[in-house]
């Protein structure tokens, strides 16, 4: 019995390690959300079609699948927007408290979304040209 529990714990920790090491970029998350929503609409259409044909069971399964998939797609988009908003507020507050500091903008330069949040926050705080110059000097080609 204890060997089984140990084996399950090892499997669980391995799954957590693998899931934690996969980092999807923000554009990839948007694509996943769009695909999920498209699938949700497809299953919704299938649900309506099955109900009109008289097959209630298949219609209910398709309808439940549509609701679940649309919900999951919405959760992914919500997490993206929430993360961007939290970064924006944190960066803007830092610029307002400490003034222009390249270290603040550099903290968020690893991802395109982080650079975008830093750029908008810097522009709102009055440091738009400084952050654009910093990112151009560091070789980032993707600026909005």
pLDDT (tens digit, 9 = 90+) per residue, 129-138? 999 899 888 8
Angle at alpha carbon of residue 76, lines to 73 and 78, rounded to 5°: 110
- pLDDT digits 0-9 by tens, 55-108: 878 778 877 878 887 787 777 777 777 877 888 889 999 999 999 999 998 888
DSSP string, 123-142: HHHT-HHHHHHHHHHTT---
* Euclidean distance between CA atoms 123 and 118, whole angstroms: 8
Alpha-carbon separation of residue 91 from 21, 26, 76, 122 (angstroms)? 26, 18, 23, 8
Instruction: Quote the CA–CA distance of 97 and 33 in Å, as a whole number.
Output: 36
């Amino acid at each position: 019995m204890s060997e089984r529990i140990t084996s399950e714990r090892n499997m669980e920790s391995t799954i957590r390690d693998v899931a934690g090491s996969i980092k999807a970029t923000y554009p990839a998350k948007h694509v996943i959300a769009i695909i999920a929503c498209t699938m949700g609409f497809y299953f919704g259409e299938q649900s309506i079609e099955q109900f009109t044909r008289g097959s209630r069971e298949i219609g209910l399964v398709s309808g439940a699948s549509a609701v679940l998939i649309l919900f999951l797609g919405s959760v992914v988009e919500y997490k993206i927007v929430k993360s961007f908003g939290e970064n924006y507020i944190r960066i803007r507050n830092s610029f307002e408290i400490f003034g222009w500091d390249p270290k603040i903008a550099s903290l968020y330069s690893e991802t395109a979304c982080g650079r975008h949040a830093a750029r908008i926050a810097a522009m709102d705080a009055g440091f738009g040209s400084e952050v654009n110059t910093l990112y151009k000097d560091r070789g980032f080609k993707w600026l909005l």
